[in-house]
Amino acid sequence: MSKFKTLDDLGDVTGKVALVRVDLNLPMKDGSATDVTRVEAIKPTVLELAERGAKVLMLAHFGRPGGKRSSVLSTSMVVGDVEGVLGKELMFIPEVAGPVVEQSIGILRNGDIGLLDNTRFWPGEEANDADFAKAIAAHGDFFVNDAFSAAHRAHATTEGITHHLPAYAGRSMEAELKALDAALGNPQAPVAAVVGGAKVSSKLAVLENLVGRVQHLIIGGGMANTFLAARGVNVGKSLCEHDLTDTASRILDTADHAGCTVHLPYDVVVSKEFAANPPSLRTCNVHEVAEDEMILDIGASAAVALADVLKTCRTLVWNGPLGAFETEPFDAATVALARTAAALTQEGSLISVAGGGDTVAALAQAGVTGDVTYISTAGGAFLEWMEGKELPGVAALTA
């Protein structure tokens, strides 16, 4: 990873205007946030800059207004929730550039925090319009990006603005970049990747990138069925992308040539219906799945074998649950492997980094959220990183 500047590289910021890109795209219900994890994530950066005497102006998008103002998608909707987490009052500024912003900066005292309106109200944001970026940048002395989750987009407030102001990674961005670098950039070998979830099609690029970079590729979830089918296994009525079996075979061949061992389950949990604790539930060898059965989790023996693989590894990167974990008991393998990963991490033998919406939920269900090295909540940006893509918002900080 090329080097990026952090808040440690900032000198005296007293009285300076910090433009800070944050992720305040909070899930809302009845006018308030149902989850404030994203605010918790930016809190250290925002409070540090305020405590160091800067005037902090937060830039954020909120939903998809499509380049037009919309009262329900104003960032003013989240002011109360953000104030609650930061423990400080915010000044809401209903613009992102121009005289209103300039006047507001005049009113802010050192250490005060302002929130600008939804950057996506202006078409220049998603178009990464140079003039738009320049107009925003004109208000600040420096730029801080603390929104890794928006870094896969080359937008005016994630990329364009860095052409006009010195740019720094915020604390949450810094932690994310360090964790991802330890997981995939410069990892300690052997490295294991767990890739699970519903479909091969949504994670093809991830699989293609990983086979050349990790020593062990553990494939679970619905996508394992497509790989099993590629190897001639009859998967009954399991979720399976039969049109992708050639692609799966090609990935298996690539892995073979790259010295990457692919681990597919050899026993599986099946049932005739998809329901909690169904009467037809059984565990069987992958070659014994009946025509009217579907695979909903990997089996206990396979899970033990995977735990043994992790014991020989130094690094683990995980995206995607091993089974249909939302429904009992198809979370068993995911929970078991998550607990093994957590225990090895706590013993100091494994660096474990996980991400993905359902993966984060599954690890929480296993009760290991605090026991793995790092959990990324960045969704799309995390997956693009797993695909080996350069993220424009990150590249702009490391240029």
* Distance in angstroms (rounded) separating the CA atoms of residues 225 and 324: 13
Residue 375 binding ligand ADP, by CB under 6 A: no
Of the listed pieces 68-76, 245-253, 349-357, 389-397, which binds Mg ion according to CB under 5 A? 349-357
Contact (Cβ atoms closer than 8 angstroms) between residue 354 and residue 372: yes
> Is the Cβ of residue 161 or residue 200 nearer to ligand ADP in the bound state?
200
Q: Which of 94, 329, 357, 388 binds Mg ion (CB under 5 A)?
A: 357
> Is the Cβ of residue 168 or residue 325 nearer to ligand ADP in the bound state?
325
Residue 376 binding ligand ADP, by CB under 6 A: no
Q: Is 5 a catalytic residue?
A: no
The distance between the two most distant Cα atoms of the chain, rounded to a whole number of Å, is: 73
Q: Which residues contact 269 (CB under 8 A, 6 or more apart)?
A: 281, 282, 283, 295, 296, 297, 298, 299, 323, 329, 330, 332, 333
- Residue-wise over 316-340: b if at least 16 C-beta within 10 A, else e? bbbbbbbbbbebebbbbbbbbbbbb
| Enclosing H/E stretch for 168 | strand 167-169
* Distance in angstroms (rounded) separating the CA atoms of residues 391 and 4: 14
Least distance (Å) between residue 372 CB and ligand ADP: 14
Of the listed pieces 115-123, 162-170, 335-343, 358-366, which binds Mg ion according to CB under 5 A? 358-366
Contact (Cβ atoms closer than 8 angstroms) between residue 270 and residue 225: no
Of the listed pieces 92-100, 148-156, 195-203, 226-234, which binds ligand ADP according to CB under 6 A? 195-203
Site for ligand ADP, residues 219 to 278, rule: CB under 6 A: 221-222, 239
Contact (Cβ atoms closer than 8 angstroms) between residue 200 and residue 217: no
Least distance (Å) between residue 334 CB and ligand ADP: 8
> Is the Cβ of residue 164 or residue 199 nearer to ligand ADP in the bound state?
199
Contact (Cβ atoms closer than 8 angstroms) between residue 383 and residue 356: yes
For Cα atoms 107, 113, 116, give the angle at the middle one, nearest 5 degrees: 85
Of the listed pieces 84-92, 108-116, 133-141, 316-324, which binds ligand ADP according to CB under 6 A? 316-324
* Distance in angstroms (rounded) separating the CA atoms of residues 22 and 20: 6
Of the listed pieces 68-76, 83-91, 161-169, 356-364, which binds ligand ADP according to CB under 6 A? 356-364
* Distance in angstroms (rounded) separating the CA atoms of residues 76 and 85: 15
Residue 299 binding ligand ADP, by CB under 6 A: no
Per-state percent for the chain, helix, strand, coil, to nearest 5: 45, 15, 40
Residue 295 contact partner, candidates ligand ADP, Mg ion, none, CB within 5 to 8 A by sort of partner: ligand ADP
Least distance (Å) between residue 385 CB and ligand ADP: 13
Hey, how many other C-beta atoms are within 10 angstroms of the C-beta on 64? 12
Number of residues that bind Mg ion (CB under 5 A): 2
Site for Mg ion, residues 189 to 218, rule: CB under 5 A: none
Q: Is 38 a catalytic residue?
A: yes
Q: Which of 181, 358, 371, 387 binds Mg ion (CB under 5 A)?
A: 358
* Distance in angstroms (rounded) separating the CA atoms of residues 163 and 130: 9
* Distance in angstroms (rounded) separating the CA atoms of residues 55 and 392: 26
Least distance (Å) between residue 172 CB and ligand ADP: 20
Q: Which of 65, 114, 170, 197 binds ligand ADP (CB under 6 A)?
A: 197
Helix orientation angle between 79-86 and 37-51, rounded to the nearest 10 degrees: 60
Residue 198 binding ligand ADP, by CB under 6 A: yes
Q: Which of 63, 357, 380, 388 binds ligand ADP (CB under 6 A)?
A: 357
Of 5, 134, 178, 199, catalytic: 199
Q: Which residues of this chain interact with Mg ion, rule CB under 5 A?
A: 357-358
Q: What positions carry a catalytic annotation?
A: 38, 199, 357, 380
Q: Which residues of this chain interact with ligand ADP, rule CB under 6 A?
A: 196-198, 202, 221-222, 239, 295-296, 319-321, 323-326, 356-359
